[in-house]
Structure 1
């Protein structure tokens, strides 16, 4: 026969259900108090109680916002997991550039009440420029990447592409500014790169063309890697390159002639090129022009056949490359399926 003493001994091992008078549902709403993305924990408060740390399903959470929390039918209804936020949060948020570290390939951006060191898509960034910042749901909405300048990048709309006439995919027009990753000049007479006016006019990054002052034939080049192809464009509708006269060896205007190149990174020899060319106006020292590239080359750029630009003109002159923020920068107008 079991005694009262036995009941006392067994009490700690007995399952304790949800207390009388409380909500009996397996899911309850609570308030998010804190987040620990590294440990994948959320601190939640139920009906004004002290915060409790529980495992959380990765999602973009808003501090102070409502969340759905599961609880155990045993242990008095103990909270066991933060399941999801009650309201969707933005995947893309606004930020402001506070510092630029080109060597490390990062921007210091102020967003969501803090400062973050983030990688970025190429664009002509300046301090205090407004940008769009992408968040990572797997890290509870932590900022992870700068998608572009607010003037150049079109944030995704909440509509989800689908099928049929009610929710059909649509084309969206965007614009991007892409800076060269490398630039320089090939000196044909020497069979070498970086061998002409290396200590002035922008140094070895300047793009030279023509033949004068004993230079031999010069071929300037700028490489963009896969940046244009990675836009994922359905169609390129406009493409311009920013050409800026860098040298002052002559006050006379010099016209740059540009041609698409398959070389996205610097080749071992002379840069290749093919297709139609475009020629700028005669540019005096320091003068620039946004030069439209031939429409016949757009699809080659879109598909990655062209990854660079070379100078093929005979009008001797130097034009700014990576030594200048806008030197040989591409402006791409394109459409994507949204």
Structure 2
């Protein structure tokens, strides 16, 4: 008999509705840092956060040096992954110094940089100022007309990337994961509804599976650390509790997210764990060659290539296929 009372219906809806974090927990996924430098062409911002600094991909915004910006944190590792915008955007129109006047265009100096922009009709005079509109990355796009205002001060120079070197640590989790079944020529065709689901990472062949290739993609997270060197990278993997034991073997791949077809491994070093029992956790110390490939972005993911059949947790298993990295960077 179905309970159709108001309390019963509300309870059923509560059980069926997706359960997300509370408002307080969700707000903890965003913090603030200080803008040090902006690479508009690369769509990234160098941010000072937690006593260090790192280049991160960024949402378009009129960022200003030494001003605050909001930073999104990874919900698994709590490390910064994206600059989502300035706390207070810079003004969209500034006064720049006219350095040359052409036909329907002027050369203006804004924030210490000269740029040629189209101009609205007006009597522009060299060495005097003009109003200049900025785009969403605070780059000059058009001169709006002459101005009598003094030119805006240039940005404070960012701290040099050279000089003292410090050691830092980071824990980075995969952004995507899964298993490609070669015999089916497709993803998510093996145990997609068991254990950790479609995000699990399998290797080897058993029970009629054919060869399985598991994949974990880290995107540009490791490259964006701005590491001068990676001195240690420990991969932690949790074995699915399926009654089987296996040693995990991985190799680097150029893919940072799940490709359309088979996740081919590149010409990077192999690395293996000891045997990991059902539901157990194992570690792999990545070799120097693979660490360097991850540092530069030549490798952006890992492929499970072991011949012994086994499944390991991916993005659906917190703490699995995470990389604990010790690296050096400019102070």
Instruction: Tell me the TM-score normalised to structure 1 length.
Output: 0.54
Map residues 115-134 of structure 1 onto 2, 5 A cutoff. 118=30, 132=50
User: Is the CA contact (8 Å cut-off) linking 2:73 and 2:79 kept in structure 1?
Assistant: no
Query: Which 5+ residue runs of structure 1 have no aligned equivalent?
Result: 1-99, 110-116, 122-130, 154-159
In the TM superposition, residue 249 of structure 1 has moved relative to its aligned partner by 3.8
In the TM superposition, residue 147 of structure 1 has moved relative to its aligned partner by 6.4
Partner of 2:232: 238
Alignment partners' CA distance in 1, 2:30 and 2:293: 31
316 and 147 in structure 1: CA distance in 2 versus 1, 3 angstrom threshold: closer
Aligned counterpart in structure 1 of residue 27 of structure 2, from 108, 129, 134: 108
User: Is the CA contact (8 Å cut-off) linking 2:182 and 2:212 kept in structure 1?
Assistant: yes
268 and 139 in structure 1: CA distance in 2 versus 1, 3 angstrom threshold: same
Partner of 1:199: 193
- Give deviations 1:87-111, integer Å, cap 9, x for gaps: xxxxxxxxxxxxx968x9x9423xx
Q: Following superposition, which runs of at least 4 residues in structure 1 exceed 2 angstroms of deviation?
A: 131-134, 136-143, 146-153, 160-163
Alignment partners' CA distance in 2, 1:221 and 1:280: 16
In the TM superposition, residue 146 of structure 1 has moved relative to its aligned partner by 5.3
Alignment partners' CA distance in 1, 2:309 and 2:77: 38
- Give deviations 1:181-236, integer Å, cap 9, x for gaps: 00000000000000000111111000001110010000000001000000011111
Query: Which 5+ residue runs of structure 2 have no aligned equivalent?
Result: 1-18, 34-48, 53-61, 81-157
Bigger shift: residues 189-198 or 238-247? 238-247
User: Is the CA contact (8 Å cut-off) linking 2:77 and 2:172 kept in structure 1?
Assistant: no
Aligned counterpart in structure 2 of residue 287 of structure 1, from 280, 283, 288: 280
In the TM superposition, residue 295 of structure 1 has moved relative to its aligned partner by 1.2
305 and 280 in structure 1: CA distance in 2 versus 1, 3 angstrom threshold: same
Partner of 2:91: none
259 and 212 in structure 1: CA distance in 2 versus 1, 3 angstrom threshold: same
Partner of 2:311: 318
Alignment partners' CA distance in 1, 2:72 and 2:179: 31
Alignment partners' CA distance in 2, 1:278 and 1:150: 23
Partner of 1:336: 329
Corresponding residue pairs, total:
208
Matched, 1:254 2:180: no
In the TM superposition, residue 238 of structure 1 has moved relative to its aligned partner by 0.7
User: Is the CA contact (8 Å cut-off) linking 2:165 and 2:330 kept in structure 1?
Assistant: yes
230 and 217 in structure 1: CA distance in 2 versus 1, 3 angstrom threshold: same
Alignment partners' CA distance in 1, 2:32 and 2:309: 35
151 and 197 in structure 1: CA distance in 2 versus 1, 3 angstrom threshold: closer
Bigger shift: residues 282-291 or 207-216? 282-291
In the TM superposition, residue 247 of structure 1 has moved relative to its aligned partner by 3.8
Alignment partners' CA distance in 2, 1:264 and 1:182: 8
- Give deviations 1:42-91, integer Å, cap 9, x for gaps: xxxxxxxxxxxxxxxxxxxxxxxxxxxxxxxxxxxxxxxxxxxxxxxxxx
Aligned counterpart in structure 2 of residue 185 of structure 1, from 173, 179, 185: 179
270 and 150 in structure 1: CA distance in 2 versus 1, 3 angstrom threshold: closer
In the TM superposition, residue 294 of structure 1 has moved relative to its aligned partner by 1.1
User: Is the CA contact (8 Å cut-off) linking 1:258 and 1:311 kept in structure 2?
Assistant: yes
Alignment partners' CA distance in 2, 1:216 and 1:193: 13
Q: Report SS of the residue matched to 1:268.
A: coil
Bigger Rg, structure 1 or 2: 1
Alignment partners' CA distance in 2, 1:228 and 1:139: 24
Q: Report SS of the residue matched to 2:315.
A: coil
Q: Report SS of the residue matched to 1:256.
A: strand
In the TM superposition, residue 322 of structure 1 has moved relative to its aligned partner by 0.5
